Structures are given as C-alpha cells and as structure tokens.
C-alpha cells in the first residue's frame, strides 16, 4: 500500500506540470484573440510584429508568475479533491455475513463480512448499536483482518484496517469485493456486573447466545441493497434462530406489502434437538398437534435474508445444549426452548406459552409470524432483592431470563407477565412497527395493560390478581412518582434509557393513559372497550411506514369517530394529571 501511495504522489506531482502548460497555452491564445478584437482585425501569430524587449520581458514575467501560482494551486486542489472523493459514498452493496460456530463452545463467534459491489475508496464499518457503544462494557472485537477477494473467491492482497472511534476503516479503493473477518469474545462480561443487559450475548451451556444488534458490524458510507446471513456449524451444534422470518416460506406480508420482506432457506434434514415425548394432537385441544416439519435448524449451513440492516439487528441466535418442545395453534408453530434444567417440566412450560400465544392470537385474529418461540434461560445477575425477570423480544419470539430457582408457581405469577408482555410486542411494536419515540408511551403502556388482560383471559391469572398487580404498579410508579406533573408521560417514555425511576413512571404512566383513553373514548362513542378495536384496526391496516402519533389519532378517528388530539395533548403530551382509575380488568 505504501508503494501505491508513492506512485499516486508521483503522478500527482507530474499532473500539475501538464496542467500548467495547458492552461498557459489557453491563456496565451485567449490573450491574442483579445488583442485582435481590440485592433479590429484578426492577427495571425506569424504576421504579428515582434514585441519590444520590455514588453517581451513583462509578458515572460507574467507567464512565469501565473505558472508558479498554478503549480502551487493545483496540488492543493488535488489534495482537496482526493479527500472529497474519499468521502463519496459507494454504490449499493451486497453483504454476506457468515457466522462460524466452530469456536462457539469456547465462547467465541467468528464473523466474516463479504461486501460486493463498487466499493468506496474507504469503507467504514461501525459497531452495532448494542453493548459495544458503551465503553465500560469492555467487550471488544478480536484479531480483525481484511483482504481483497478475487472473482474466483480466492483471497487476494491484504487491506489496511484502521480502528476508528466507532469501528473500523478498510482501504477498499478500486475493489469490487472485499472480506473482513473478526472474532467476538462473548466471555468478557464479568459476573459482578449488575446490568442484566450485558448478558443477552453470552456463553451458555455448550455454546453461545447472541443478539444481532451486538455482533454485526455495519457499513455507514455505502447503501446496502441485499443482505444474506449464513451459519457455518461444523460441530452440528443444536441451533435456535427465532428470527422473525426464520421459518419456511414466511411472507411476513402486511396489507400494503407487495411481496415477501424476507426469506429463509432451511436445508434437508434440519430440525431441532427435540425433547422426548412431543405433544400429540390427541393430548391438546383446539388444533394443537405435533408439528413434525423442520421448524428449527440444526444445520451445517443456514441462509437467512434480512430485509435491511434494522432487520439484521433484530435477531437472536443460541447454540449449544438446547432442547425444544413445540405445538401448533392454527397455522403458527408455538415453541418452548431452553438450555437449562428447571423445577418444572418442559411440557408445563410449553402449555403456559401456548395458552398465552393462543389468547393473543385470538385477540388480533392471527399471528404476525408463522413461529412464536419462547426461550427460557438463566438470569446470572442476582441483585440485593433477588433475581429479576428480564425479557427481550425479536419479532414474536421471546428470550426470558429467570432465576435458576424458579418454581412453577413463580413461573405463573412472575415470568408469565414478562412472556405475555414481550410476546404482545410481536403485534404492537413489531407488526405495528414502532418508529416514533413520541408513541413509546402507548407501545409500552398498552402492552403492559393488555398483557395482564391476556393472562386473565387465558386463565393463568385470576381477574382479581391481574387487577391487584396493575393497581399496585400504578400507585407505586405513577400516582406516587415525583415525576408526576413535572414531565409529560410521552417525554418520559421517549427517554427509555433514562433514570430507572423515570422509566418506571413512563411505563406506569403509559398504562394509566391507555386505560384512561379507553374509558374516555367509551364515554364519547358509547362503545365497549373501543381501544381493543383501535388496536385491531392498526394491526389490520399496518404498513411499512410504521406506528406514529398521527397513525394513532387517525385510527381512533376511523374506529370511534372521535378526535382524540385535544385529550392526548392535555394528558399524554402535556403534564395534566389523570384522575384515579377503576375497571382496570
């Protein structure tokens, strides 16, 4: 690379000489034409009388000065132009991420990123928006390297790899294909760290678990037109990939979608590592049956095509000692997966999950995906008050981290609400896509309220228990919150990474606002539970534009005929306190 730079520098030095000669010639010709116009006749150079010595010397000095100025100016322009050229974005790229699980048992994931297309002179790869963005988390990428790739797929010359404040910069000038290899060591999180979010991507029994938003580096100075994720699994580890579209022929179509947003290809002979005694059709009611198809991969190679970089982030993979059970409700596979041994049976856990899923599907009329997976894993963080129950959703699938000492009663009373909440986000948050921070109050508040109602409808919670849980939360985190009346519910919810007490106020305030909006709309329209119909309307009329404040207001108006903007402006986007609530369930 150093020799290339020197050659470019030599060329840049020679170029101004040619440029100054050319420009000087044009200047001289223009000067002669100007003189001819002044004299009124065309003067041929050979017929022109020779100038006097003083005139000739003056002209020579003038030309020499201009040439000197040009010699000084053109290199500066060249440097400026070169830097500007380096900043130009490249053509839309085709990206392939290969996840190599050959070192997964040691807690390491190897990722190869292949970029194809007319690459920019320098390609900037930034850390994903997960834990790498927070310096104190200490997780780093190991041994990064980059190479040009030949047309036949062979590795070419090595490329420069420079670390930046947000990732890495590759020297890709003149290339149409380049590969970047890096390792992610998932063992870096320390056991004494108290933030459970640091343990989403972590070693698990026999392998690793990782989220897409913590692993995949992303180009920032070039558009992306196609993405493929492949999984290389030479040890044939059990692999669970509950990506939103990672089942056969999943269209994920909305009413306004022209076609599939993603596609997944599962090879021959792929399937989960099933637990013994799969549920049969005769053992469950209302369409539950043994799903014998390959609903989950244990592949040598797996290919997944995310819709875009956001869809790439919205991913979760776990490999290792995993066992699964599955059932089916209508056309949706309902699945339980775990890498732990619990104080309750797998069949009981699947039955709980299926009851929640069927109730939420019944509320909306269908499932947004063909597969809903709930992965139960151990929470490694024990706070002073005990273990938290923590949930993360990817599409309609859910990761729930609970205490290793969780009993069946604790699963029903505590973990069930997290499962119902995160699963409900498959509709409100994913299908009804959350894009506007100003509506997070509704996405989180309504989901919390409806998850309690779903548990009551499924018979997992009694109405009295659901009502008491909501009442206690509203009193503690909304009515008695020091933030009440000081900040709007919408503003508090938009700051989801803020002070913990502020976040609790935002969630509880969202619940209060959702219940109050439903009751106010009922009085205005004489409808029973009008917000139920608003949610169904939003789901049935969802679009790629996503969920916004305007979309909520238009949906309320379409369903109830009521303009809710003044009410929202006063109680949600303003600081007016809501009146005490009843009829929570």
How far apart, in whole angstroms, are the C-alpha atoms of residue 440 and residue 507?
9
The pair of structure tokens assigned to 215 is: 């692993």
pLDDT classification of 393: cutoffs 50, 70, 90:
confident
pLDDT at 29 over 80: no
The count of other CB atoms within 10 Å of the CB of residue 560 is: 20
pLDDT at 558 over 80: yes
Domain boundaries, the chain: 2-87, 432-571
In this predicted model, what pLDDT tens digit does every residue of 262-282 receive, in sequence order? 333 333 233 333 334 333 222
Tokens 């923590």 appear where? 390
Q: How far is CA 374 from CA 217, 225, 453, in A?
A: 27, 31, 20
Helix axes 500-525, 530-540, angle to 10 degrees: 100
pLDDT at 431 over 80: yes
Query: Residue 177, SS3?
Result: strand
List residues bridging with 203 in a β-sheet.
Answer: 208
Tokens 């996405």 appear where? 443
| Interacting residues of 273 by C-beta distance below 8 A, sequence separation 6+ | 238, 298, 322, 323, 324
The pLDDT of 365-375, averaged and rounded, is 88
Helix axes 500-525, 549-560, angle to 10 degrees: 20
Query: If one looks up domain 432-571 in CATH, what number appears?
Result: 1.10.390
The answer to whether the beta carbons of residues 160 and 180 sit under 8 Å apart is no
| Interacting residues of 409 by C-beta distance below 8 A, sequence separation 6+ | none
pLDDT at 355 over 90: yes
How far apart, in whole angstroms, are the C-alpha atoms of residue 433 and residue 581?
29
The pLDDT of 341-369, averaged and rounded, is 95
Q: Considering only CA atoms, which of 381, 359, 383 is closest in space to residue 372?
A: 359
pLDDT value at residue 12: 31
The pair of structure tokens assigned to 340 is: 């732990």
What secondary structure letter does DSSP report for 484? T
Q: How far is CA 299 from CA 102, 294, 321, in A?
A: 13, 11, 15
In this predicted model, what pLDDT tens digit does every residue of 376-387 receive, in sequence order? 999 877 766 667
In whole angstroms, how large is the CA radius of gyration of the chain? 32
In this predicted model, what pLDDT tens digit does every residue of 499-553 receive, in sequence order? 788 999 999 999 999 999 999 999 999 999 999 999 999 999 998 788 999 999 9
Chain centroid to Cα 428, Å, comes to: 17
pLDDT at 296 over 50: no
The pair of structure tokens assigned to 203 is: 């070693």
The pLDDT of 385-409, averaged and rounded, is 85
How far apart, in whole angstroms, are the C-alpha atoms of residue 44 and residue 36?
9
Helix (H) or strand (E) holding 328: strand 323-329
pLDDT classification of 142: cutoffs 50, 70, 90:
confident
Pairing of strands 397-402, 428-429: unpaired
pLDDT value at residue 208: 93
How far apart, in whole angstroms, are the C-alpha atoms of residue 344 and residue 334?
19
The answer to whether the beta carbons of residues 256 and 543 sit under 8 Å apart is yes
The pair of structure tokens assigned to 218 is: 């992303």
pLDDT at 198 over 50: yes
Query: Residue 253, SS3?
Result: coil
How far apart, in whole angstroms, are the C-alpha atoms of residue 266 and residue 259?
20
| Interacting residues of 38 by C-beta distance below 8 A, sequence separation 6+ | none
> What average pLDDT is seen over the chain?
76
pLDDT classification of 582: cutoffs 50, 70, 90:
confident
Burial zone of 525 (CB within 10 Å; 0-12 exposed, 13-18 middle, 19+ buried): middle
């Amino acid at each position: 690379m150093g020799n290339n730079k020197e050659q470019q520098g030599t060329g840049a030095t020679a170029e101004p000489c040619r440029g100054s000669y050319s420009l000087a010639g044009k200047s001289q010709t223009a000067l002669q034409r100007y003189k001819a116009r002044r004299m009124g006749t065309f003067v041929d150079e050979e017929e022109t009388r020779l100038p006097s010595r003083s005139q000739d010397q003056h002209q020579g000095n003038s030309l020499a000065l201009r040439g000197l100025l040009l010699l000084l100016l053109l290199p500066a322009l060249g440097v400026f132009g070169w830097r500007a050229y380096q900043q130009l974005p490249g053509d839309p790229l085709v990206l392939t991420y290969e996840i190599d699980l050959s070192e997964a048992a040691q807690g390491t994931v190897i990722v190869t990123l292949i970029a194809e297309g007319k690459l920019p002179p320098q390609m900037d790869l930034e850390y994903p928006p997960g834990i790498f963005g927070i310096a104190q988390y200490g997780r780093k990428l190991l041994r990064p390297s980059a190479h040009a790739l030949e047309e036949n797929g062979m590795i070419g010359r090595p490329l420069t790899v420079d670390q930046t404040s947000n990732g890495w910069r590759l020297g890709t000038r003149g290339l149409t294909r380049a590969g970047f290899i890096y390792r992610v060591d998932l063992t870096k999180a320390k056991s004494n760290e108290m933030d459970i979010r640091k343990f989403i991507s972590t070693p698990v029994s026999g392998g690793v678990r990782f989220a897409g938003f913590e692993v995949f580096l992303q180009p920032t100075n070039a558009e992306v037109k196609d993405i493929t994720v492949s999984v290389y699994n030479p040890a044939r580890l059990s692999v669970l990939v509950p990506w939103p579209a990672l089942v056969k022929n999943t269209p994920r179509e909305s009413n306004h979608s022209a076609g599939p947003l993603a596609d997944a290809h599962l090879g021959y002979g792929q399937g989960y590592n099933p637990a013994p005694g799969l549920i049969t059709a005769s053992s469950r009611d209302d369409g539950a049956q043994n799903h014998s198809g390959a609903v989950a991969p244990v592949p040598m190679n797996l290919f997944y095509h995310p819709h875009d970089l956001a869809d790439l982030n919205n991913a979760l993979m776990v490999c290792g000692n995993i066992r699964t059970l599955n059932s089916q409700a209508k056309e949706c596979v309902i699945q339980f997966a775990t890498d732990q041994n619990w104080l309750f049976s797998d069949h009981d856990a699947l039955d709980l999950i299926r009851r929640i899923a069927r109730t939420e599907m019944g509320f909306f009329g269908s499932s947004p995906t063909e597969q809903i997976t709930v992965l139960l894993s151990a929470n490694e963080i024990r706070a002073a008050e005990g273990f938290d129950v923590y949930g993360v959703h990817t599409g309609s699938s859910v990761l729930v981290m609970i205490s290793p000492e969780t009993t069946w009663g604790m699963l029903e009373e505590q973990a069930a609400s997290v499962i119902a909440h995160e699963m409900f986000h498959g509709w409100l948050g994913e299908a009804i896509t959350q894009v506007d921070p100003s509506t997070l109050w509704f996405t989180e508040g309504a989901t919390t309220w409806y998850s309690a109602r779903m548990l009551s409808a499924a018979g997992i919670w009694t109405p009295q228990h659901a009502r008491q849980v909501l009442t206690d939360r509203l009193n503690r985190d909304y009515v008695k919150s020091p933030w009440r009346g000081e900040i709007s519910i919408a503003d508090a919810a938009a700051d989801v990474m803020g002070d913990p007490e502020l976040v609790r106020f935002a969630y509880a305030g969202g619940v209060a606002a959702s219940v109050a909006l439903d009751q106010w709309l009922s009085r205005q329209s004489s409808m029973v539970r009008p917000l139920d119909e608003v949610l169904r309307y939003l789901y049935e009329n969802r679009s790629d534009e996503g969920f916004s404040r305007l979309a909520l207001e238009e949906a309320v108006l379409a369903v109830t005929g009521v303009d809710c903007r003044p009410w929202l402006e006063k109680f949600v986007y303003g600081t007016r306190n809501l009146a005490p609530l009843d009829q929570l369930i």
